[in-house]
Structure 1
Amino acid sequence: MSEVTVKQLASTVGIPVERLLTQLSEAGISASDADATLTEQEKVKLLGYLRRSHGKEGDESSTDPSQVTLKRKSVSELRQQPAAAPRSTAGVRPAPPARGGKTVSVEVRRKRTYVKRGEDAAPTPPPPVTTRRAPVERPRPPTARERNAANSSIYEEARRRTELQAMRAEQEARRLADQEDQARLAREEEIRRRAAEEARRLEEEARLRAEEQARLEAEREAAEAAATEAAIRKTTPAAPRPAEPALIGTEDDGEDAAPAAARRAEAAKPKKGVKKPPEVAEKDRAVKKPVRKDASVRTRDLAVTPRADYEEVEGAGGVGRGLRRRKKSTKPQLQDKHAFQRPTAPVVREVEIPELISVGELANRMSVKTSQVIKELFKQGMMVTINQALDRDTAILVVEEFGHTAVLTDMRDAEGTLLDEVQEQEGQAEALPRPPVVTIMGHVDHGKTSLLDYIRSTRVASGEAGGITQHIGAYHVETDKGTVSFLDTPGHAAFSAMRARGAKVTDIVILVVAADDGVMPQTIEAIHHARAAKVPLIVAVNKMDKPDANPDKVMQELTQHEVLTEEWGGDTMMVKVSAKVGTGIDELLDAILLQAEVLELKAPVDGPARGAIVESSLDKGRGPVATVLVQSGTLRRGDIIVSGGEYGRVRAMFDETGAPVESAGPSIPVQVLGLSGTPNAGDDVMTVSDERRAREVAEFRSARSRQNRFDEQRGVSLDQLFSQLKDGEQKSVNLIIKADVQGSLEALKDSLLKLTNDEVKVSIVASGVGGITESDANLAVSSSAIMLGFNVRADAAARRVVDEKGLDLRYYSIIYELIDDVKKAISGLLSPIVTEEIIGLAQVRDVFRSSKFGAIAGCLVSEGAIRRNSPIRVLRDNVVVYEGALESLRRFKDDVSEVKAGIECGIGVKNYNDVQPGDQIEVFERTERARVL
């Protein structure tokens, strides 16, 4: 093939394409890229350029060389084993040989020369060619032209091979030159390194010899001193005493100390022919150097070196025994490897700032002490504590003051993202009709629970006739026309918050009004709750079986509160029922279902569940129990839910009869087990995909709740300071309240806190759901609190503490009784009411002087009676001029205890002598009366 591309030629020659393109451009051949084609003339031109660059002359136009020389070479490697190092006679240790031996490159070159012959020397004729179609014929002899053409093709092939071989030879020559330069540089570097190592080694040996000389000199001086001291002790008689341990000496006597020291000095000298220890690495010498320097310093203080640093050795020939210094450990000392290094530049941190952050948390995020943050806030005029919350602007100022960067964050990210996902999934699911949720409200004793009991007993199968499960508060009823879910709310005034929660989660409110009692305060409150929640109202007039029932009166009173029934032209349905005999129950259910059809209640059935907490309690055997009303989706056993600051996996679900269920759809109330604690009644319930997200949302809500409590302590005004000073004079009633369910506990706390007045403060030290425990009793001991149990009891440990400490523990099952007893306790702490009653009035006619009592007023009793030892007031022109006590009361010369109206008497006023004629003396009595809340 006459033409080849640049890429093919580079592959044939064995050089990179870029290098071949460079050579082509230097030779004056235009080749733009690797796909450019090269002709035979261009290849010959390139070969001529390469020959000239190597100093060879030739005619690039000559295409028929007289002779062609082909060269071939092969390179191999031989590994030479290292020879033994020769011994040094000059005391200098030779350089260590290379570890892996030496590698020698062996190159074998072969050369073959082809000489061009004359035209008369014809090549050997080719063998005859046979074919199948023609008979075999003897070939004719080739002509001169044919012989020349054959020779030209052979020479052309040889020339092409020669060109390729020349290009390869040049590439190899350049590569060998580069390798030789690198090897030369490496040898020079190795020579310099060995020279430096040799210089350092010689310096180290000189230093070691100097140290050894100093040590031997010190040992010799110490041995001479010990021998002299031993000789002095031997010649000088003295009382025997225990000898102190000497650093260098013998066990028998001091005479052999000097010879032993001399022998040790002789043994310490370097001997000829002894092979020195191998040279240590430069890194190890750098580590060991401080140790040797320290040893050389300690040789000057051998007299105070502890004996533990020496070991007992035996001299040459076993003649004497002495002490020598123990060798220090040769392990490298790397105690400075992880030492603290002060930063060369200040560290600037990115501090995340939420809407509210406490002082301690802010200091933790900036990695500074809390005291420094408090000091900085004091400089800005703010008196804060470690738990006090700071707003975002103040926190940004503090962060910038410390030189850091403030990054604003939103604490609602996790919760907001979860709510958005739940709403998005609800929007994607198909909404289907659901049962209505009905809340029954009304005044106390108007028959709400009786009405529900009748509906339940007539609509539940005989196998489930066990009554309402205690404290469930919600259940559903199957009717011929559909399912209805009921929520039962108490009617006492203390349960206002519970009724408000019931109105928020309900679809229809049934207002129960007694026909014989009419509209009462809690009835009016239920109307307001329903109106605030924008929930339709159905009035159920109960107790129609009584003879004094008056439904017209009920409708008239409801009209005063803007509730107009259909009979009177309004839009509110009214059903007359009797929970005792069952009158109107079917009509009431029909009215509920009719109202539900009008409302067109729908909710998605598929998808994550969402609902609300109706009630929660703490069961001793089952743990936290929450009554959940599912509002959308389906709640299944095993789902992960979050409610308020609590989360967990649904371990079990039960309906209102206590039967276990696997799932609950919209408008179905169930009891759920598995939460981490008792959530607050009214909190939302959501299903979460994984437990990690549920924990994050619950922890965020708990932190927000704690932050809100801290916010209540923020800022102290003068009015609050005066209020706190006034509270210091108040008496306090400390209470510890434990209830069976969360709703009852909330109602008790609200009712009791309202009993606080100017003189007595009600303080709830602790409250919770569940039984009274030993920790509650111990807290009552430390806080002098009264323990109140509402439908709960104390365990054995708590009862033991109550008996030992004499605590006040009271059990209640009715909220009226609990509130009344607390009222009595508060009333006992109130100061009594003092009233004054005037019992007599006397007119002063004249004044007499007595040596015993001073001024004596002669008076005429005009009203009532004057009694001795009663408080009096002296009035002059109807103005009180003195208030004191009556000291003396006489009738003529006799002391009397009482003087009635119309009789004259003498009155002596205690500690007052300015009585004048015309004054009036008023006698009164003080009466104390207990206060009642």
Structure 2
Amino acid sequence: MSQTTIRKLAELTNTPVERLLEQLAEAGMKFDGPDQVVTSTEKVKLLGFLRRTHGKEEKATESAPKQITLKRRKVQELTVGGGKSKATVAVEVRQKRTYVKRDAVEETESSERDDALRKLEESRQQQEAEENARLELERKRAEEAKQAEEEAKRRIEEEKKKAEAEEAERLAVAAAEPGRKALPAEGEEPVVVDAAAAAAKPKPEVRRREEERDARPARGRVTRERAPEKDDGPKRYVGGQLHLSAADRARRGANAGKRKGRRGAEPSRQGSGGAHGFSRPTAPVAREVAIGDTIVVSDLAQKLAIKGADVVKAMFKMGVMATINQAIDHDTAVLVVEELGHTAVRASGEDDVELALAAHAAAEQGDAQVRPPIVTIMGHVDHGKTSLLDYIRRTKVAGGEAGGITQHIGAYHVDTPKGTVSFLDTPGHAAFTSMRARGAKLTDIVVLVVAADDGVMPQTVEAVKHAKAAGVPLIVAVNKMDKPEANPDNVKQGLANHDVIPEDWGGDVPFVPVSAKAGTGIDDLIEAILLQAEVMELTAVTDGRAAGTVVESTLDKGRGPVATVLVQSGTLKKGDYLVCGIQYGRVRALFDEVGAQVDQAGPSIPVVVLGLSGVPDSGDDFVVVEDERLAKDVAQQREAKRRETRLVSKAGNRMEDVMAQMGQSEVQAQLNLVIKADVHGSVQALQEALEGLSNEMIKINVISSGVGGITESDATLAAASKAVVIGFNVRADATARKVIETSGVDLRYFSIIYDVIDQVKQVASGLLGVEIREEIIGIAEVRDVFRSSKFGAVAGSIVVEGVVKRSKPIRVLRDNVVVFEGELESLRRFKENVEEVKNGTECGIAVKAYNDVKPGDQIECFERIEVARTL
């Protein structure tokens, strides 16, 4: 998780960086720049200073805890069942209680009550204000209606007076015209002078009713005409639509009038000009789409604001077949976005954790000091690489290797009188190309071991190429000089053909004749290594957090994930938090190459690390970080990216690939394999070597691979996919063996890599011949270990399966992992030597050249048999 800097804090608080630095300085905290980290304590201190500056008192009880949580853990043992099935079960009871400070509760309740009362008072005041505004509006409307009514009455009076005046004038004009009599006297009937005028004159009763009728509707009509209509205040309508504005009501009223005036005529909706009117865009919208390393097709469609089917269609036109739920890489996504008329930009913020990790590692740089050189021993198989290293280390590692060849990288450091040197021993078999390449990248100097009696071989040439690709100096050790058929000139001539020129021939590569068996020339070789290291001036930072590379990794049943790492800078200590590829953890223990526990390891020193969350890949870099949170975030982000990349590789089906698969013969067979090995390097080498055997007739498919013993899930997967299970220096547990026996899975154990390759190559090539299999004939379990002056460690054992024979080879298993392979030195029943011991019988077993047998180990007796292969 990234920490908060002064710049980020200024952005969050909307404060200029300079002003924030001044406030921090006034609060007594000095910072050199805006990129420094601000801790939580410094933030609280700054907040208290600002509160005091603005006149707010700081609570004295803020530093005191407001609540206390007490936890109680109680473990009891219960006995379940009876008889032979009797078992003891541990029952754990956990209790958790939280005590809250009373004044804190009262303060919280008081603050909540005050807040509720304040909100209630504000609501009441707002209601009173709205009610007063409504009453005032009603009063104004009543006054306006009263004024309108008085105005209507006044107009009626004026019209009445005007009508009376017009009537009097008309009568006067009629009296003055000829042919009319004077007005009749009282009690006499009127005499009509003019018939037309008399017909037009209304009667008094009719005129009075007409005036009353005109006065009644005029009063109401005037009231409606003078009623005010405003948009800026609350309105009281009985049947109106309150959500409409005056313009909308006018528009709807006009449309309603049109519908009444013309039946069937639809009002035009174009150009309505309403507040919520929809207008079609006049041009296509071009968007900027942020794309990371990978993106799911549905997420890309959402960013483009189009349907997912349209994106799939565009990809199909480009020749890429993917569904809506599959992930595509960055380049493909950019092409799709540009094809659809948009702009693609690189997504920012995805590598914030990696940038924080890089900044975290860069902040711990110190002074560089001289460090020991890292030397990699390379060469062809059986040319004496491990034997040469054994003589330097005064040990015998090569004798314990299966078949006499190294199966994985070994890392050692040797303290010689002339200085300390770290050695990496790489395997020489052709299948371990990746291991040799990884060893060349880690090293400072490459020592190429060439047998004087054998000359330059294919793996010798490959080692030269790896050294040149890594750009490291080369020292040639011409081994086996004690043999009479040794010919060092032949070695020099063969290497000169590959641009490796000896110093005595005018070149720059020293050739040192040595003999790993006799021990001659070893001091000259070490002196040449230290001289080359002095010329190179190798330095590294000693103080600070460590960084380096994983040399090898494995899964131990008792200790968990185990990684052999090579420290390249800094000092790795017990208790450090580190991130290693997609794994992280805390260093629980450190061991050197002989198994002794150490507290720390400096530059160029290989150590074994315990405490990781999983088995890292060989070649992964590791970095020590400050806390576990940052390590976990980096590991999770890397794992997510790796998973997305794996999904992209599976989803990127192009039409060309589909057509090529359709054009292949339908008779191509597939051989599914499940590979389990003791170390990760062997898994990687086996997978690469076996998949490289595929041809047009048969395809080798490794459906699963891993480190550790064969488990039930591996056996179930093999049974479901009809795969062959290959165990390389590992064994299946009891549940896995049961699944294998019931399902008929083909399980094969190997300890030498070329035996695996040879058998798979024979099947892949379709050759029929003799197949060499290893059949386990008996297993003995070690109950106790006794010491004998003649035989050393004698294992008191009982045969649990089959029969143990004296003449057959054996292997010593510890936690289902092979720790030794050899032969029996003695097999006794009581005090008598016997040739075989059957199932259920106790015996004493002495293993030849191996004295590290422990109680709980299993001694496996096997035999190699030849089985005729059938179709």
After TM superposition, the score normalised by the length of structure 2 is: 0.52
SS in 2 for 1:771: coil
2:750 pairs with 1:804: no
Does the C-alpha gap of structure 1 residues 345 and 789 become closer, same or farther in structure 2, counting only changes over 3 Å?
Answer: farther
Q: 2:705 aligns with which of 741, 756, 767?
A: 767
Contact preservation (8 Å) 2:376, 2:425? yes
The residue identity in structure 2 corresponding to 1:740 is D
The residue identity in structure 2 corresponding to 1:495 is F
The residue identity in structure 2 corresponding to 1:699 is Q
2:601 pairs with 1:664: yes
2:688 pairs with 1:750: yes
Contact preservation (8 Å) 2:583, 2:635? yes
Contact preservation (8 Å) 2:564, 2:608? yes
Deviation for aligned residue 1:352: 4.5
Q: 1:791 aligns with which of 706, 710, 729?
A: 729
Aligned to 1:572: 509
Does the C-alpha gap of structure 1 residues 687 and 803 become closer, same or farther in structure 2, counting only changes over 3 Å?
Answer: same
Contact preservation (8 Å) 1:355, 1:411? no
Deviation for aligned residue 1:826: 2.0
CA distance in 2, matches of 1:812, 1:626: 23
Does the C-alpha gap of structure 1 residues 499 and 602 become closer, same or farther in structure 2, counting only changes over 3 Å?
Answer: same
Does the C-alpha gap of structure 1 residues 382 and 546 become closer, same or farther in structure 2, counting only changes over 3 Å?
Answer: closer
2:659 pairs with 1:702: no
SS in 2 for 1:658: coil
SS in 1 for 2:654: coil
Deviation for aligned residue 1:420: 3.8
SS in 1 for 2:507: coil
Does the C-alpha gap of structure 1 residues 429 and 192 become closer, same or farther in structure 2, counting only changes over 3 Å?
Answer: same
Aligned to 2:24: none
Deviation for aligned residue 1:718: 3.7
Deviation for aligned residue 1:373: 5.8
The alignment yields a C-alpha RMSD, in angstroms, of: 4.2
The residue identity in structure 1 corresponding to 2:700 is V
CA distance in 2, matches of 1:828, 1:379: 41
Report 1:260-659 matches (<5 A): 352-362=290-300, 374=312, 383-392=321-330, 395=333, 408-410=346-348, 413-414=351-352, 416-418=354-356, 420-421=358-359, 424-425=362-363, 428-457=365-394, 473-659=410-596
Contact preservation (8 Å) 1:472, 1:656? no
Does the C-alpha gap of structure 1 residues 586 and 356 become closer, same or farther in structure 2, counting only changes over 3 Å?
Answer: same
SS in 2 for 1:432: strand
CA distance in 2, matches of 1:349, 1:648: 43
CA distance in 2, matches of 1:750, 1:566: 37
Deviation for aligned residue 1:630: 0.5
Contact preservation (8 Å) 1:387, 1:710? no
Deviation for aligned residue 1:653: 1.5
Larger Rg: 1
Deviation for aligned residue 1:931: 13
Does the C-alpha gap of structure 1 residues 542 and 403 become closer, same or farther in structure 2, counting only changes over 3 Å?
Answer: closer
CA distance in 1, matches of 2:661, 2:768: 19
Does the C-alpha gap of structure 1 residues 534 and 452 become closer, same or farther in structure 2, counting only changes over 3 Å?
Answer: same
Contact preservation (8 Å) 1:443, 1:522? yes
The residue identity in structure 2 corresponding to 1:617 is T
CA distance in 2, matches of 1:386, 1:555: 61
Does the C-alpha gap of structure 1 residues 724 and 382 become closer, same or farther in structure 2, counting only changes over 3 Å?
Answer: closer
Contact preservation (8 Å) 2:294, 2:328? yes
Q: Deviations over 1:612-668 (max 9, x none)?
A: 111111111222111110101111122222222222222221111111222111000
Aligned to 1:677: 614
CA distance in 2, matches of 1:422, 1:732: 49
SS in 2 for 1:587: helix
CA distance in 2, matches of 1:655, 1:805: 43
SS in 2 for 1:519: coil
Q: Deviations over 1:451-498 (max 9, x none)?
A: 1111111799xxxxxx99996710101111211100010000111111
Contact preservation (8 Å) 1:731, 1:829? no
Aligned to 1:87: none
Aligned to 1:825: 763
SS in 2 for 1:545: coil
SS in 2 for 1:449: helix
Deviation for aligned residue 1:378: 6.5
The residue identity in structure 2 corresponding to 1:484 is V
Contact preservation (8 Å) 1:459, 1:479? no
Q: Deviations over 1:857-901 (max 9, x none)?
A: xxxxxxxxxxxxxxxxxxxxxxxxxxxxxxxxxxxxxxxxxxxxx
Q: Deviations over 1:283-325 (max 9, x none)?
A: xxxxxxxxxxxxxxxxxxxxxxxxxxxxxxxxxxxxxxxxxxx
User: Structure 1 regions of 5+ residues with no counterpart?
Assistant: 1-98, 100-181, 196-341, 461-466, 832-929
Contact preservation (8 Å) 2:319, 2:655? no
Deviation for aligned residue 1:676: 2.1
Deviation for aligned residue 1:384: 2.1
SS in 2 for 1:657: coil
Of all paired residues, the percent bearing the same amino acid is 60
The residue identity in structure 1 corresponding to 2:765 is S
Contact preservation (8 Å) 1:439, 1:488? yes
User: Structure 2 regions of 5+ residues with no counterpart?
Assistant: 1-116, 118-125, 140-275, 281-285, 398-403, 770-867
Q: Deviations over 1:584-628 (max 9, x none)?
A: 111111111111111111000112211111111111122211111
Aligned to 2:68: none
CA distance in 2, matches of 1:361, 1:493: 45
SS in 2 for 1:572: coil
Does the C-alpha gap of structure 1 residues 368 and 620 become closer, same or farther in structure 2, counting only changes over 3 Å?
Answer: farther
The residue identity in structure 2 corresponding to 1:525 is E
Does the C-alpha gap of structure 1 residues 478 and 782 become closer, same or farther in structure 2, counting only changes over 3 Å?
Answer: same
Deviation for aligned residue 1:185: 8.8
Deviation for aligned residue 1:733: 0.9
Does the C-alpha gap of structure 1 residues 618 and 366 become closer, same or farther in structure 2, counting only changes over 3 Å?
Answer: farther
Deviation for aligned residue 1:674: 1.9
The residue identity in structure 2 corresponding to 1:454 is Y
SS in 2 for 1:475: strand
The residue identity in structure 1 corresponding to 2:552 is E
Report 1:218-229 matches (<5 A): none
SS in 1 for 2:549: strand
The residue identity in structure 1 corresponding to 2:472 is V
Deviation for aligned residue 1:671: 0.9
Deviation for aligned residue 1:407: 6.7
Report 1:154-173 matches (<5 A): none
The residue identity in structure 1 corresponding to 2:557 is K
SS in 2 for 1:810: strand
CA distance in 1, matches of 2:633, 2:501: 49
Aligned to 2:777: none
Aligned to 2:271: none
Contact preservation (8 Å) 1:629, 1:670? yes
Contact preservation (8 Å) 2:408, 2:427? no
Contact preservation (8 Å) 1:468, 1:656? no
Report 1:175-190 matches (<5 A): none
Does the C-alpha gap of structure 1 residues 826 and 694 become closer, same or farther in structure 2, counting only changes over 3 Å?
Answer: same
Deviation for aligned residue 1:383: 4.0
